[in-house]
Amino acid sequence: MTVQGTNSAIRVGASILRDYLVLVMIAALVALTALIEPKFLSPENLTNIMFQFGPLMMVALGTTFVIIGGFIDLSIAGTINLVAVVTISLIQPMGQVPALLTGLATGTVCGALNSVLILSSGALTQAEALFMTFGLSTVYSAIALLYSHGSTMHFWDITASKSIFQAIGSGSLGFLSWSFVIFLISLAALWVFQEMTAEGRAVRLTGGNKTAARLAGVRISRSIVVIYAIGGFMAALGAIVLFSRVTTASPVIGVGYETNAILAVVVGGTTLKGGKGSVLRTVMGVLLVVLMSNCLNLLGVSTYLQVVAEGAILTFAIWLDNRKHM
């Protein structure tokens, strides 16, 4: 083989490794942890991973569309806080189904409100949206604190039926948890929206180049409302899965989910520059984040070092994303 052919093969190999680095990291993480700690592959731990998978996955799937659209959403934590306390508080007076629907509607409204304020203020850059949604997260969290009087709400204080939420939190359909089934349905619906609808393609165009998208006839404002409404709805779904699993809801239950969601989306391969990404790749990103947390817990690594690891991985993912566009 010539030197030119060798160099070409090396470039191709490096490109493939870069594109599928997350899969390599997942395989290495699983193999290393299984060797050091055999409990990792136990049925109990694998079941635990399946239940941990749900809340972050719902949130990350919604965040994927926001980032593909060229924006960012830091209001996720506040939305989760508000949806959790509102939903659990309504089970007793309204019943399960109305409480569930109200919670989903609350998240969707929060997401839509994000987009309305972004559009009305002209904050059409990612940096502007970052600060706008950070402020809104504080507002939503404050409302959750006022609504709940700063207290934690528990399932055992509810005398009305809560079987739906108990099924979501700990029930299973065969060998799959209900939260995992909800994830599969959500993934399928969002993939169809992204790949097979005009609105899904419009989101990509909006994130890639807003000026070109506008000249091509894309309604930019509509796409922005759609991506933030999806983000709010999925954050609400994640909040419901989360408090159903832990059986309590507090006005701070969503703290940290916004950064973990962004971490999972970027690690999965969705570019922060907008226009490119996939919900399927986000699944790999979430799997890596959840597995990393589980493995570090099993190995007895302190919480502080886990935060350091997450930050390092996010920094590396952003660095790698920028290298792709050099």
Q: What is the pLDDT of residue 19?
A: 61
Task: State how far the alpha carbon of 209 is from the alpha carbons of 66, 212, 275, in Å.
Answer: 14, 5, 8
> CA–CA separation, 88 vs 95, rounded Å?
10
| pLDDT band per the 50, 70, 90 thresholds, residue 87 | very high
In a domain, 260, yes or no: no
* 206 pLDDT above the threshold of 60: yes
**Which 8-state DSSP code applies to residue 156?**
G
More confident residue, 59 or 123: 59
* 119 pLDDT above the threshold of 70: yes
List 172's β-bridge partners, or say none: 177
Q: What is the pLDDT of residue 97?
A: 94
Residue 7 one-letter amino acid: N
Token pair belonging to 50: 């399946």
| pLDDT band per the 50, 70, 90 thresholds, residue 324 | low
More confident residue, 17 or 20: 20
- Distance from chain centroid for Cα 46: 21
* 195 pLDDT above the threshold of 70: yes
Q: Residue 232 contacts by C-beta under 8 Å, 6 or more apart in sequence?
A: 62, 79, 107, 108, 109, 110, 111, 112, 114
HSE toward the beta carbon, residue 180, CA cutoff 13 A: 17
Q: Residue 211 contacts by C-beta under 8 Å, 6 or more apart in sequence?
A: none
> CA–CA separation, 241 vs 243, rounded Å?
6
> CA–CA separation, 177 vs 162, rounded Å?
17
| pLDDT band per the 50, 70, 90 thresholds, residue 2 | low
Q: What is the mean pLDDT of residues 112-121?
A: 92
In a domain, 74, yes or no: yes
| pLDDT band per the 50, 70, 90 thresholds, residue 214 | confident
> CA–CA separation, 268 vs 262, rounded Å?
10
Token pair belonging to 325: 């566009």
φ, ψ (nearest 5 deg) of residue 154 = -120, 150
| pLDDT band per the 50, 70, 90 thresholds, residue 20 | low
Residue 249 one-letter amino acid: A
- 285-313 pLDDT, tens digit per residue, is 888 888 888 888 888 878 778 778 777 87
* 314 pLDDT above the threshold of 80: no
Mutual angle of helices 76-94 and 257-267, in 10-degree steps? 120
Mean model confidence pLDDT for the chain: 86
> CA–CA separation, 32 vs 55, rounded Å?
26
In a domain, 275, yes or no: no
> CA–CA separation, 104 vs 109, rounded Å?
9
In a domain, 22, yes or no: no
Q: 77 with 137: CB under 8 angstroms?
A: yes
- 5-19 pLDDT, tens digit per residue, is 555 555 545 455 566
Q: What is the pLDDT of residue 17?
A: 55
* 253 pLDDT above the threshold of 80: yes
Least confident among 37-46, 103-112, 133-142, 148-157: 37-46
**Which 8-state DSSP code applies to residue 38?**
G
Q: What is the pLDDT of residue 18?
A: 60
Tally Cβ neighbours within 10 Å of residue 305: 10
Q: Which residue has the tokens 């796409």?
A: 223
| pLDDT band per the 50, 70, 90 thresholds, residue 115 | very high
In a domain, 306, yes or no: no
- Distance from chain centroid for Cα 37: 28
Q: What is the pLDDT of residue 68?
A: 93
- Total structural domains in the chain? 1
Structural domain span for residue 62: 41-254
In a domain, 7, yes or no: no
* 79 pLDDT above the threshold of 90: yes
In a domain, 124, yes or no: yes
Burial class (CB in 10 A: 0-12, 13-18, 19+), 39: exposed
Q: What is the mean pLDDT of residues 259-269?
A: 87
| pLDDT band per the 50, 70, 90 thresholds, residue 256 | confident
Residue 303 one-letter amino acid: T
Helical H runs in the chain?
3-19, 21-36, 43-68, 76-94, 96-121, 126-148, 163-170, 178-196, 198-208, 210-215, 220-246, 257-267, 279-298, 303-324
Q: What percent of the chain has pLDDT over 70?
A: 92
- 123-173 pLDDT, tens digit per residue, is 777 888 889 999 999 999 999 999 998 899 998 888 888 899 999 988 877
| pLDDT band per the 50, 70, 90 thresholds, residue 326 | low
| pLDDT band per the 50, 70, 90 thresholds, residue 99 | very high
In a domain, 271, yes or no: no
Residue 219 one-letter amino acid: R
